[in-house]
Amino acid sequence: MATVYSFNSGNKRKSFFFKSANLNLILINIIVFLIFSILISKSIISIDSVAIKPSNVLQGKYLWTFLTSMFMHAGIFHLLVNMFSLAFVGPLIERIIGKRRYVSFYILSGIFAGLFFVLMSLIFAGDFEAYAVGASGALFGLIGLLMVLTPNLPVYVMFIPIPIKMKYAAPGMLIILWLISFTESVSIGNTAHLGGLIAGILYGVYLRKKYKNKTRYISKHFS
């Protein structure tokens, strides 16, 4: 556990949270998932009140699910995969842009991914009754940001044994998941992933224009 100090007293006190913003996000994801799962299993709340469903949103209902859906998952495996990915990707981005920017961007990219999911359902007349949950929209936001800030960073993708540059790995992951959802008939929020990736790319471009020297150095350092 992280230790913090109060300026109002000379006593040291312990905090429930970690010093790392990324570890805190992982902790919150796990706790919220457990709470929502228990409440849903006991019929205290419905899945509609925590997951994004286009038909609800388009009727102006449950709009808060753009936030709650980010911290709910379809099951333990879904949660573990996303938290493992967050543990792998998050620390580097937190180091690059700082804790506050990192948390703000994580939340905003997740919300943007949810909005994009609903918008694509509307434009292409998709399944308006489909639910979307999980941190993957925000995760793809982080991946899109790394794609712009550290395009030549070598990373390992899924079960591929050789490192691939981030500028190829990011769209590659999106394509792999898309193929899996079609060939294996697995329900995957591909449009939410795409929305998150777009959010990350846009924020990365903004940072590169505003902080040219810093982002140039970061790109070279992590090549």
Q: Which of 69, 109, 136, 219 is catalytic?
A: 136
Q: Is 136 a catalytic residue?
A: yes
Distance CA 98, CA 57 (A): 33
Are 141 and 105 contacting, i.e. CB atoms less than 8 angstroms apart?
yes
Q: Which of 69, 73, 109, 193 is catalytic?
A: 193
Q: Is 221 a catalytic residue?
A: no
Residues marked active site are found at 136, 193
